Structure 1
Amino acid sequence: MRKIITLILLIFISINSYSQSDKELILESFDNYKNAILTDKGKLAADFVDSRTMNYYSTVLDKVKMADSLEIDTMGIIDKLTVLTMRHRVSKKDLLSFNGKDLFVYAIDNGMVGKNSVVNAELGDVVTNGDFSKAEFVVNGQKTPFFFHFYRENKIWKVDITHLFLLGTIAFKKMVEDSGETENDFITNILEVLTGKKPSENIWKPII
């Protein structure tokens, strides 16, 4: 009996020694997300983002459908850019048929989520507290003061991309300032450059 118990303990220790650490799982999840973004694979990317991200896209979709120009004008630059981009680039038929996840997948499939945010990005030190982790945002080998946030959901570490909006907001506000344009003119000009099509006034109107 003692030999059997010893054998069981050895097997357990052996299995446990080959299990991946939280940091390894987070790095793997990030790499999967990054590869999905860079290759425009929306459904794959959706597997590696958390519920906060999906809730954000559900909220954005509601704004795309119902927000008027006054409400849009009060939004932060990231939300405003996202809503107007969707109205400019996605058909009304598709928008009315989408849920939040559909909108996220469409955005990835069509290159509407900035690849620049991940193309040269790596993770540095990872700190875990329960089901939450934050990992240093490293760009071109240089550490930054920003972090990727991850949450463990259904035993899988997933990235919260909404936490990166602060970085995006800082970058866009600097670009608007440098352009000398108003925020709204800057956004509409960006949309025209990206699509080769001048946005109509309809992007400021609800679609339902």
Structure 2
Amino acid sequence: MKRLVILLTLQLLLVYSAIAKQDKKQITACFEQYKTAILSEDAELALKCLDSNTIAYYSNIASLSRTATRDGIDTLPIMSKLLVIVVRHRIPKPELLKMNGKELILYAVKNGMLGDKTSIDQTTITKISIDDNKATALFKDGKQVSDNYFRFNKETEGWKLDMTSISGVVSKSFNRVISQSGLTENDFIFRLAEASSGRRIDDTIWEPIAEK
């Protein structure tokens, strides 16, 4: 009896190990697909790689871009504030008025609005840790492994990347640059937005484009 229990336990461990190995392959494949999508501006592929948290986040950004006042925008975390300003600045009003989260992601990918391609190309993931339907993976820039991580969630269609998981890391990076530059947060955001478009921003950027 004891031997049978040991054999069953070993079998279960082998099955679990095989499942975990397969999950790690799928997580890596998801990340590599997302990288490929961003680098090639393949919007549909990028969208397939993103989880429901990310889509909900961009739905909120689309809504805020239409309706938020200056006071509302100023209370946002820096990453969300930057996105709202960039979206208002770069997306034509008639299109933005109709956009949901998925449509905003599609537009952003097609127009190179989601990150610097050079840094994305050099980023890989490592040390994947899985807990049921959630996973984390440290990101690696070239040969250097960061202590920051991406989150992944296993949804109906498989493992998906949660891009909201890096907002804290990006915010810390931005705040460090701001403190070194002597710029205000808003000046820094404006400069980034202007650099992405080649056009100046004026104070009308703070005005909502639609009524709530």
* TM-score interval for Structure 1 and Structure 2 normalised by the shorter chain: 0.7 to 0.9
Taking the TM superposition and a 5 Å limit, the aligned residue runs for 1:1-208 are 21-114=22-115, 115-116=117-118, 118-208=120-210
Moved more, 162-171 or 189-198: 189-198
Residues 90, 193 of structure 1: alpha-carbon distance in 2 compared, 3 angstrom cutoff: same
Residue 117 of structure 1: CA displacement? 5.1
Gap runs ≥5 in structure 2: 1-17
Which whole-Å CA distance do the structure 2 matches of 1:136 and 1:20 have between them? 17
Q: CA deviation at 1:205?
A: 0.8
Q: Deviations over 1:128-171 (max 9, x none)?
A: 11111111211112111011110011141000000011111011
Q: Distance in 2 between matches of 1:59 and 1:205?
A: 17
Are residues 153 and 117 of structure 1, via their aligned partners in 2, closer, same or farther at CA, if it must alter by over 3 Å?
farther
CA distance in structure 2 between the aligned counterparts of 1:199 and 1:61, rounded to whole angstroms: 19
Q: How many residues align?
A: 192
Q: Between 129-138 and 115-124, report the one with greater CA deviation.
A: 115-124
SS state at 1:118 partner: helix
Give the match's secondary structure for 1:97.
coil
Secondary structure (helix, strand or coil) at the match of 1:157 reads strand
CA distance in 2 between counterparts of 1:117 and 1:99 reads: 28
Q: Distance in 2 between matches of 1:147 and 1:20?
A: 19
- Cα distance, 1:56–1:41 mapped onto 2, change above 3 Å: same
State the distance in 2 between where 1:30 and 1:193 align. Answer: 27
**Unpaired segments of 5 or more residues in structure 1?**
1-16
Q: Distance in 2 between matches of 1:45 and 1:147?
A: 19
TM-aligned CA deviation for residue 191 of structure 1: 1.9
| AA at the equivalent of 1:175 | V
Distance apart, 1:58 and its partner CA: 0.4
Please, what is the CA RMSD of the aligned residues? 1.7
Secondary structure of the 1:138 match is: strand
Name the aligned partner's letter for residue 121 of structure 1: T
Structure 1 vs Structure 2: percent identity of aligned residues? Answer: 36
- 2:15 equivalent in structure 1: none
1:134 is paired with a residue whose SS is strand
| Cα distance in 2 between the residues matched to 1:183 and 1:96 | 27
Deviation at 1:190, TM superposition (A): 2.1
| 3-state SS, counterpart of residue 149 of structure 2 | strand
